[in-house]
Amino acid sequence: MQLKSLHDVELKGKKVIARFDFNVPLSKTEPREITDTSRIDMAIPTIRLMLEKGVAKITMISHLGRPDGKVDPKYSLEPVAEYLAKKLGMDVILSESAIDNGVKNLLQLPETKLVLLENIRFLPGEEKNDMDLADKLATYGDVYINDAFGAAHRKHSSTFGINNYFKGRAYPGLLMKKEIDSLGALLEKPAKPFVAVIGGAKVSDKIKTIEKMLVLVDTLLIGGAMAYPFLKAKGITVGTSLCSDEDVSLAKQLLQADKGGKIQLPKDHITSLEFGGAPIPCAGQNIPSDQMGLDIGPITIKAYGDHLKTAKTIFWNGPMGLFENKNFAKGTMSIAEIIAGTNSFSVVGGGDSVAAVQQSGMAEKFSHVSSGGGASLEFIEKGELPGVQALKFGVY
């Protein structure tokens, strides 16, 4: 079942209750500032479209961080309200709580168009999918719009239960629809060759994604710390690189399952004597016993680049090295540049690789940069998410 486009939904004069994923990173120290506004920026077209369609009011729900059902000023949505107001050039009223009586009053005032409810995870019911909370939230709108793709893998009151009260009146936002359409295209008849690049820290974190990719792709390029357990499983020395026994045994299983020889591993490295220390080029696959691998080397970049240049579909998740440190960023940045230069259908998903693409300044050259971390990987594994299912079929 296809999700309806928000463009085709009649919203004139309607009160909308809308879920967004404004879970943005904030600076650790006061004043708390948003360090990456991408997730809010990606939701702006949905808000603008609703306004153009003549809605009476938009009441916005989001979480921020994991305050565990308790009020914690550190996780207030105040910086988000300020940023939204600046970006939209309109007043955004932040409610004191998502369910206080003040909200009802705000909803009666015709002059307030945009209300942002304070962090929904300040309430203990949210993560328990409490139906009383969902019921209460549902009274704020005639129509429910869910644009929170990044939280669609959560079965919470504002992402899941609330759908129960909007049968035939629940719709995806523009971002939600683009996410599902783009990630869905990877799963349904992707143009071949399909090449995936998987990096990041641990095999155990991404085992299900890797298993799924082995079914979908022609070639699977592995980089980042994730590569070392695979190399070790093949009897190659990895020195002092990050490499747990559990990951080595998972890598061994994956290599055995890879009958088609799809998995490609780094052929050379950039190492160091210590984490984040001076970089040392390591031209061979074996890493000396006193060194740890922290990036892929130039021979690997070239080899991976040759695979990527022939691809018609590319999925990328996870950095190729310690890219936050410029001495170990070349592998990740080169992969970003190579993918950006192809004519393929290219999708990047998952927190760190998205940050790397933003850092490379080439985000707009990708077909789709996912706003989801866990959500994008879970969608790829399962082909569905609870929040999306509920939007399509309701909650029963």
Residue 57 annotated in active site: no
Should residue 302 be labelled a site residue for ligand 3PG when binding is judged by CB under 6 A? no
The single residue of 252, 374, 392, 394 carrying the catalytic annotation is 374
Burial 176-212 (b: 16+ CB within 10 A, else e): bbbbbebbbbbbeebeebbbbbbbbebbebbbebbeb
**Tokens (6 digits) for 148:** 């929170």
Give the rounded distance of the alpha carbon of 302 from its chain centre: 28
- Taking residue 72's Cβ as centre, other Cβ atoms within 10 Å add up to 15
Residue 19 annotated in active site: no
Should residue 184 be labelled a site residue for Mg ion when binding is judged by CB under 5 A? no
Should residue 150 be labelled a site residue for ligand 3PG when binding is judged by CB under 6 A? yes
Rank residues 160 and 194 by Cβ distance to Mg ion and give the closer one.
Answer: 160
At closest approach, how far in Å is the CB of 154 from ligand 3PG? Answer: 5
Should residue 21 be labelled a site residue for ligand 3PG when binding is judged by CB under 6 A? yes
Q: What is the DSSP letter of 74?
A: G
**Tokens (6 digits) for 282:** 């390591």
Rank residues 155 and 365 by Cβ distance to ligand 3PG and give the closer one.
Answer: 155
Residue 202 annotated in active site: yes
Should residue 154 be labelled a site residue for ligand 3PG when binding is judged by CB under 6 A? yes
The single residue of 14, 19, 39, 206 carrying the catalytic annotation is 39
Task: Find the binding residues for ligand 3PG in span 52-71 (CB under 6 A).
Answer: 66
Determine whether 306 is exposed, middle or buried from the number of CB atoms within 10 Å of its CB (0-12, 13-18, 19+). Answer: exposed
Could you tell me which stretch among 147-155, 161-169, 270-278, 387-395 binds ligand 3PG (CB under 6 A)?
147-155
The single residue of 14, 57, 177, 202 carrying the catalytic annotation is 202
Residue 39 annotated in active site: yes
Should residue 373 be labelled a site residue for ligand 3PG when binding is judged by CB under 6 A? yes
Give the rounded distance of the alpha carbon of 358 from its chain centre: 13
Should residue 374 be labelled a site residue for ligand 3PG when binding is judged by CB under 6 A? yes
Should residue 387 be labelled a site residue for ligand 3PG when binding is judged by CB under 6 A? no
Q: Which residues 6+ apart lie within 8 Å of 176 measured at CB?
A: 3, 146, 147, 148, 149, 152, 388, 391
Burial 92-130 (b: 16+ CB within 10 A, else e): bbbbeebbeeebeebbeeeebbbbbbbbbbbbebbbebb
At closest approach, how far in Å is the CB of 60 from ligand 3PG? Answer: 15
At closest approach, how far in Å is the CB of 127 from Mg ion? Answer: 13
Rank residues 66 and 70 by Cβ distance to ligand 3PG and give the closer one.
Answer: 66
At closest approach, how far in Å is the CB of 151 from ligand 3PG? Answer: 5
Count the residues of the shown chain that bind ligand 3PG, applying the rule CB under 6 A: 8
Do strands 368-369 and 263-264 pair parallel, antiparallel, or not at all (unpaired)?
Answer: unpaired
Find the helix or strand (DSSP H, E) in which 146 lies.
strand 143-146
Distance CA 292, CA 225 (A): 10
Could you tell me which stretch among 45-53, 146-154, 230-238, 352-360 binds ligand 3PG (CB under 6 A)?
146-154
Q: Which residues 6+ apart lie within 8 Å of 97 measured at CB?
A: 71, 103, 117, 118, 122, 123
Distance CA 95, CA 59 (A): 10
At closest approach, how far in Å is the CB of 118 from ligand 3PG? Answer: 16
**Are 395 and 164 a contacting pair, CB within 8 Å?**
yes
Rank residues 57 and 178 by Cβ distance to ligand 3PG and give the closer one.
Answer: 178
Could you tell me which stretch among 29-37, 89-97, 148-156, 378-386 binds ligand 3PG (CB under 6 A)?
148-156
At closest approach, how far in Å is the CB of 154 from Mg ion? Answer: 9
Q: Which residue is it, tokens 């702006």?
A: 44
Q: Is 247 left (phi over 0), alpha (psi -120 to 50) or beta?
A: alpha
Task: Find the binding residues for Mg ion in span 356-385 (CB under 5 A).
Answer: 373-374
Binding site for ligand 3PG (CB under 6 A): 21, 23, 66, 150-151, 154, 373-374
Residue numbers annotated as active site = 39, 202, 351, 374
Binding site for Mg ion (CB under 5 A): 373-374
